[in-house]
Structure 1
Amino acid sequence: MKPIPDSITLVMRSYNEAWAIEDTLKAVCEQDYTGQIELIVIDSGSTDGSHEIIRNYKPKEFIILEPGTYVPGKVLNQGFRLAQNEWVVFLNSDATPDNAQWLKQLLQAAVNTPRLGAAFSRQIPRNDCQAVFAHDYDRCFGPHRESDQWEHFFSMVSCVARKSVWKEYPIREDLQYAEDDEWTRRMKDAGYETLLVVESVVMHSHNYTPAQSYKRAKGDALAVAQAGNVPETSLSWPLGVVLPAVKDSIKDFKYCLKQRRLNEVLHAFRVRYQQRLGRIDGYKEGMSDG
């Protein structure tokens, strides 16, 4: 087993997440890791007091973007460029390490993976997470996760990659969504591996409204289509929206029944419908642009 690096760079993206960033930074400082952590924070113009919290942790680089200028690929590439270390960890400011082993477990798995593209952490939802989204985290990261059967799955929320590999495969800067999906697909096509490290755990979740769910799903699907990665699926309303939304909702019903949260079933269906509608609309728009 290879030793973990004695120096890493941690790049954190933030925007109006003062409610979480203190806990996240504190958890980073309390990791069972004796090496040096170079902290780089790139903030998208927060106005909620985040800047004062960040400065208290004395980052090596603290960059504040002009409001409205955030482009994920540009920010991620900037983080890589600024990093003084070979191993670069990315951690969202609202993704709080669940224990003191988060970083060590992530690094241990990464250094012992030949031809690593990127390794990423397991995510667990916060206590206030609505059932439909908690179910998604279970499907993606749970002990019986569906993601193991998916053609591709990756999340940039908490991950590690090598700067030397990034130099060969920089992240696209023309995508507003799903840039991490396209990036890791490209690396996998070149023979690099992406790895889910279930022992490395962060707490992270969002409660989106149905309208926000539509916007998010459409943005992801649009980016996927622009990258030429549209899966084989029906683009019709009955087969591409209604039928999958119903199938998703049946799974949600079983989850809610098991968790004793049946009062959230109707909300789950509204979210699933908007997600499926957004996905189809995004695919269509992205394919027509091409």
Structure 2
Amino acid sequence: MPFQQPIPIVIRSHNDLAYLRQTLDMVERQSLPVDIHVYDNASTDGSAVFLASRKVVVHEVPKGTYVPGKVLNRAIAEVDAQAPFVVFLNSDCTPVDEHWLAELVNGFADPKVAAVFGRQSPRPDCKPLFAKDTDDTFGDGSRQQYWRHCFSMASSAIRRSVWETLPFRTDIQYSEDIDWTWRIRQMGWNIAYRQNSQVLHSHNYTLREFFRRHYGEGKAEATIFDWSTWDRSLLRYSLLPYMRQVKNDLVYAIKTKNLSIVCQSPLLRGVQMVGRRKGFKAGWAGRETV
């Protein structure tokens, strides 16, 4: 697709100075013209000083005010109103080459596509099971066809005209991207995955952080999707996925000859299962009171 005007890129940041330089360096190397906007959430690690030295537009998000949907809505409203697409990139997502942006926005060649997301690959220092999860979720995209829904805002782009008819929800703290893309799919729009638009992005979570993440995602899931009694049961929602993941981790351990995974998997997947289950129950309870 031909692009004459700079493409607005919204980068959300919070204490990511360790990654900001390499991420901005790679964004500035893109084969298409860019207009970079950084929405910094009260960073205290020197990010503000660093950003002042770069050719980017900085927007402050005051401490204690960050709500994902509100920031996304604000960003789309504030960047170039003539731009048909807005690109989003987390500050710790580093494009692997100068074609990341072109590969991403070319997903809009299909006029029925409302949102596009790209491939995320683990960083070299990523721990094995977290790296496996990242590759399973993204990779060549083959696994996504078996899931109810898949999307990630971390490296993505949306069609402005669709957002104008349906802004992001501002009453949820997790999975606002899943919620928005699920709702537009129900309206007849498509989501495109671009595996050749690649970034490095991964986290080495502590068990507490991993629990918190899945608690938040489980809570959001309960409100986003419709659930039958069977689908939300302990067996279907929690125990069967746990057993399947531990089994797949064992296969991965044998394939990679990393037997330490055999010991790590039951605990990690147990934390994941309990966090997601507790979050789901909290979200479902809130849904029933509405």
TM band (smaller chain): over 0.9
Which residue of 85, 95, 107 maps to 1:109? 107
AA matched with 1:42? Y
Structure 1: which amino acid aligns with 2:94? Answer: T
8 Å CA contact retained: 1:131, 1:268: no
TM-score, normalization: structure 1? Answer: 0.92
| Equivalent position of 1:75 in the other structure | 71
**TM-fit CA distance, 1:230:** 4.2
Q: What are the Cα deviations for residues 220-246 of structure 1, in whole angstroms up to 9, with x where unaligned?
A: 11112123444753533x664444323
Distance 1:209 1:235, change over 3 A: farther
Q: Among residues 205, 208, 218, which one is paired with 1:221 in the alignment?
A: 218
Q: 1:212–1:8: structure 2 CA closer, same or farther, 3 Å change rule?
A: same
Q: How does 1:112-127 map to 2 (within 5 A)?
A: 112-127=109-124
Report the TM-score, using the length of structure 2 for normalisation: 0.92
| Partner SS state of residue 148, structure 2 | coil
Q: Provide the aligned length of Structure 1 versus Structure 2.
A: 284
In the alignment, which residue of structure 2 is the partner of 1:189? 186
Instruction: Tell me how large the CA RMSD over aligned residues is.
Output: 1.7
1:99 counterpart (90, 97, 100): 97
Deviation at 1:268?
2.6
Match of 1:22 in 2: 21
- Aligned runs of 1:188-207 on 2, under 5 Å? 188-207=185-204
TM-aligned CA distance change 1:53 to 1:259, over 3 Å = farther
The alpha-carbon deviation at position 120 of structure 1 amounts to 0.6
Q: Which residue of 1 aligns with 2:85?
A: 87
Cα 1:214–1:230 change in 2 (3 A) is farther
1:148 is matched with which residue: 134, 137, 145? Answer: 145
Q: Partners of 1:263 and 1:46 in 2: how far apart?
A: 36
Identity among equivalent positions (%) equals 36
Structure 2 alignment gaps of length 5 or more: none
Which letter maps to 1:103?
Answer: L
Partner amino acid, structure 1, of 2:49: E
Report the alpha carbon displacement of residue 137 of structure 1 after superposing the two structures with TM. 1.4
Distance in 2 (alpha carbons) for counterparts of 1:15 and 1:288: 31
Alpha-carbon spacing, 1:5–1:206, altered in 2? closer, same or farther (3 Å): farther
Matched, 1:45 2:42: yes
Residues 103-156 of structure 1: CA distance to partner in whole angstroms, max 9, x if unpaired?
11111222x122221001101000111111111112111237422211110000
